[in-house]
Every structure is written in C-alpha cells, then in structure tokens.
C-alpha cells in the first residue's frame, strides 16, 4: 500500500534552524515507502496517509514505527494531545478532525495542554480526546523502546513545540541523537563540547558533509604527521578529527540531513583509517625495540590482523539475532567503552607521548588491539553457542523493565547518554 504524508497546520517555532514543515519533509524522506503531498485531493482511494501536526516535534524513527499498520493515532505523553495518525484513505477525514480537535479545534499552532495528566504510560487511552472505535491510540512508549541503530533504550521522540520550550526541545533532540553504547571518550567527553559545535555549524550554515570533509583533511594530516614523527601535532589533528566525527553525526541527525554519500564517507573513513595511523606511528620509531623478540613488521601485522578480525567478529554477530555484539549483554556494553577502537587507542598514544615514550604508545596499541580482539572473538563464539541452544539472540535492553530490574547500574548508564541532554 502506498503511503502519502501530509502536514496539518504550521508554527513559527524553528528547532535547530528548521521550520516545522521543512523538518517533517526531510523526515518523510527517511520513512520507507512514504511520499509527501500538499493537497489531500491527491490522495488515491487505495492508499494510506501519514498525517502529522506541525506543532509537534518528532523523529523519523517515530514515524517509521507508526506506519506499521493503518488505523493508528499517536498521543503525545507530554500534554495528552493527539499529534499524528496513520490511516487508510477512507479514514483520513475522521483522523484529521480528531487531530484538530486535539488542540481545541484549531490546527494552526499551540500544541495545547488539554486536560491530560500528561503521564508517559503506554496505555491506549486519551485524556483530552476520545478516539472513534476504529482507531487504535498509541503513545511513543508503545511503539518501541530499543533502538538498534543508536544502541539505546528510549521511547521514540515526540514533544509539543512552542517558543518557550524551543531550547529544551533542541537539547532533547540532541540527546536523543546520541548513542547509549559507545566508547568512553564519545560517551563522557564529547557530548557538551560537540553540542556547541553543532550549534556553531547550524548558525554558520555548515552541512554535515562539510564537517566530514574537514575531518577527512585532518585524518590525512595526522597520517603525514605521524609518519614524520611529529607525534604531538598528529595527535592534535587526530583528536580534533574525532571531535568533528561526533559533531557531523549529531548535526546530521538534529537537522535531518543524513545522506547515503555522507554516511558512506563518514563511516568508511572511521573504519579504514585507524590501523594506518598506528602503522605510520610505528614507522617513525626507527630506533625503538619491540617486545617478545618481535620486529616492527610483526607488530604491523598484529595491528592489521587484530583490527580486521575484530571488525569481522562485530559484523558477524549481527547474524545471530536482532542485537549487535555490544548490546547483547551488559558486559558487552561495558567492554565497548574501552575496546581497541580509535578513541581508546588515542588515549594510549597520548599518554605515552606525554610520558616521552611514543614507542610505548605503539606497543600499547598493538597489544591492546590483540587482547580486545581476542575477547570479541570469544564473545562471538559464545554467541554462536547461545544461538544454537536457545534460538536468535536478543539485546538485554530490548525489555526495558527487566533490564532496569536486573541490571540497574548498567541500565542507568547505557539506556542513553545522559549528559547529552543537559542544557547548553
């Protein structure tokens, strides 16, 4: 069934520099099988319609989950109002009337408060608006919680918008764009500085691809500096590149500018460059001696093979069920903080360089890559055994109530990145 998307009303509020209608148009492009229309007269009889109020801010994930089957209206838990609907063509008029009634009969703004108690529960009742019997009323919490893309366990985003809460909305959108499970630098160092970077980019009109291009230049500069033995300069370029790597991803999400080319460039660069950095660093250590009777060529092979096998183990884990390696069990989330990806390895290189022993950095990165890859391979083997015994694997975060009860500390830390929601 073809799905056509339509926006009701408008609002002057701009969130992360975007008007409500522009944000929704960009989000519609990210919903599979959806085509936006401006006139409901263009709606074919044998079709479905996704109808969204402009005075609410949502995310593409919310809309994707909403379009599972027609006949659903979405209630915003913050104010109890109906904010969106996914219905068949024959239900469109009733759905629009219902959404308009949700803000007092006027669809041109407001995001009104209604008489709801505003709880965030997942029940199918609406405090301020009674839905006809042929509509199922849902909240974001009932649509889903676990996000396999961003590795976090939070309900899809939906909030009323007004000029009074614009800043808070931007903070929430930024926070919801942040991964819950990632390395320790991205999780605890970058959230607030990167938000300032995103604000600068929005104000300056910089696109995510522009930021990624700057990151590519810094990555190449670090390669040259490491090879020439300018370790401090290379580390400066490398750290700034990792900062921009966080900025461009969050900028793409809050301004809904993700593209296949930008995604390929960003993630392709992330995957390919780290072992080259380490090898080029090692090539500058002409006089350094290596441990265990190994020479530098042996160390290069250990870095390359350790890195490749680690990546292969991570990707292979996806075949075992609807979970990723680092979201299978709490141990894996904790291990993701320190596993030998670029940022933890940069910490090792930086500490060694500050100690005046860049050779220790090279040796440390090599040994840490081998050690953590061994753990990843072990986890893959354990996952295969669990898959054969019990069926497809599921993330410990898939059942949020059980996760919060069984692993309260891990749940608190990894359901989302809390500092990313902080004002600023």
Give the tens place of pLDDT for each residue, 56-83. Answer: 999 998 999 999 888 999 999 999 999 9
The angle subtended at Cα 195 by Cα 190 and Cα 201, nearest 5°, is 120
Q: Is the pLDDT of residue 291 over 70?
A: yes
Give the tens place of pLDDT for each residue, 90-123. Answer: 889 999 998 988 643 333 333 333 333 333 333 3
pLDDT band at 148 (very low <50, low <70, confident <90, very high): low
DSSP 370-417: HHHHHHHHHHHHHHHHHHHHHSSEE-TTSSHHHHHHH-HHHHHHHSS-
Give the tens place of pLDDT for each residue, 150-186. Answer: 667 788 899 999 999 999 999 999 999 999 999 999 9
Q: How far apart are CA 424 and CA 195, in angstroms?
A: 7
Distance spanning both ends of the chain, measured CA to CA: 43
**pLDDT winner (highest mean) among 2-11, 233-242, 250-259:** 233-242
Interval 402-415 mean pLDDT: 94
**pTM of the entire structure?**
0.87
Query: Which burial class, exposed, middle or buried, applies to 264 when counting CB atoms under 10 A from its CB (0-12, 13-18, 19+)?
Result: exposed
Tell me what pLDDT residue 266 has: 77
Give the tens place of pLDDT for each residue, 14-63. Answer: 999 999 999 999 999 988 889 888 887 778 888 899 999 999 999 998 99
Q: What are the backbone dihedrals phi and psi of residue 83, each rounded to the nearest 5 degrees, phi first?
A: -115, -20
The angle subtended at Cα 202 by Cα 417 and Cα 152, nearest 5°, is 20
Give the tens place of pLDDT for each residue, 191-236. Answer: 999 999 999 999 999 999 999 999 999 999 999 999 999 999 999 9
Tell me what pLDDT residue 25 has: 94
Q: Is the pLDDT of residue 314 over 50?
A: yes
Interval 128-140 mean pLDDT: 71
Q: How far apart are CA 226 and CA 285, in angstroms?
A: 10
Q: Range with the lowest mean pLDDT among 93-107, 121-135, 304-318, 333-347?
A: 121-135
Average pLDDT along the chain: 89
Give the tens place of pLDDT for each residue, 354-384. Answer: 999 999 999 999 999 999 999 999 999 999 9
Give the tens place of pLDDT for each residue, 244-261. Answer: 999 999 999 999 997 777
Which SS3 state, helix, strand or coil, does residue 4 take? Answer: strand
Instruction: Label the pairing between strands 152-153 and 136-138.
Output: unpaired
């Amino acid at each position: 069934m073809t799905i056509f998307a339509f926006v009701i009303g408008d609002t002057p509020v701009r969130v992360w520099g975007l008007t409500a209608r522009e944000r929704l148009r960009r989000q519609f492009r990210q919903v599979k099988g959806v085509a936006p229309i401006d006139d409901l007269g263009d709606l074919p009889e044998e079709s479905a319609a996704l109808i969204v109020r402009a005075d609410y801010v949502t995310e593409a994930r919310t809309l994707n989950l909403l379009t599972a089957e027609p006949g659903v209206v979405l209630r915003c838990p913050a104010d109890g109002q109906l904010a969106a609907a996914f219905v068949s063509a024959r239900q469109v008029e009733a759905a629009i009337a219902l959404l308009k009634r949700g803000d007092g009969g006027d669809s041109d703004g407001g995001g009104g408060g209604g008489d709801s108690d505003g709880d965030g529960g997942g029940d199918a009742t609406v405090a301020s608006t009674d839905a006809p019997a042929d509509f199922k009323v849902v909240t974001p919490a009932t649509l889903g919680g676990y996000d396999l893309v961003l590795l976090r366990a939070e309900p899809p985003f939906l909030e009323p918008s007004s000029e009074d809460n614009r800043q808070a909305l931007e903070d929430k959108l930024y926070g919801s764009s942040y991964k819950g499970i990632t390395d320790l630098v991205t999780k605890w160092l970058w959230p607030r500085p990167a938000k300032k970077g995103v604000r600068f980019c929005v104000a300056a009109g910089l696109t995510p691809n522009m930021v990624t291009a700057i990151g590519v230049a810094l990555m190449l500069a670090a390669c040259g500096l490491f090879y020439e033995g300018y370790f401090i300069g290379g580390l400066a370029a490398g750290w700034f590149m990792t900062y921009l790597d966080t900025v461009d991803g969050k900028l793409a999400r809050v301004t809904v500018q993700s593209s296949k080319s930008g995604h390929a460039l960003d993630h392709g660069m992330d995957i390919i460059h780290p072992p080259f950095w380490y090898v080029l660093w090692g090539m500058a250590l002409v006089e350094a001696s290596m441990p265990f009777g190994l020479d530098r060529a042996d160390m290069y092979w250990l870095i390359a093979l350790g890195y490749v096998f680690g990546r292969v183990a991570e990707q292979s884990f996806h075949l075992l069920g609807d979970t990723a390696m680092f979201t299978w069990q709490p141990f894996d989330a904790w291990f993701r903080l320190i596993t030998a990806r670029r940022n933890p390895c940069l910490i090792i290189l930086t500490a060694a360089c500050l100690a005046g022993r860049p050779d220790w950095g090279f040796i440390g990165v090599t040994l840490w890559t081998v050690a953590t890859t061994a753990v990843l391979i072990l986890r893959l083997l354990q996952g295969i055994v669990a898959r054969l015994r019990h069926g497809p694997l599921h993330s410990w975060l898939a059942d949020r109530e059980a996760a919060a009860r069984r692993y309260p500390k891990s749940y608190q830390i990894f359901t989302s990145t809390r500092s990313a929601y902080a004002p600023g």
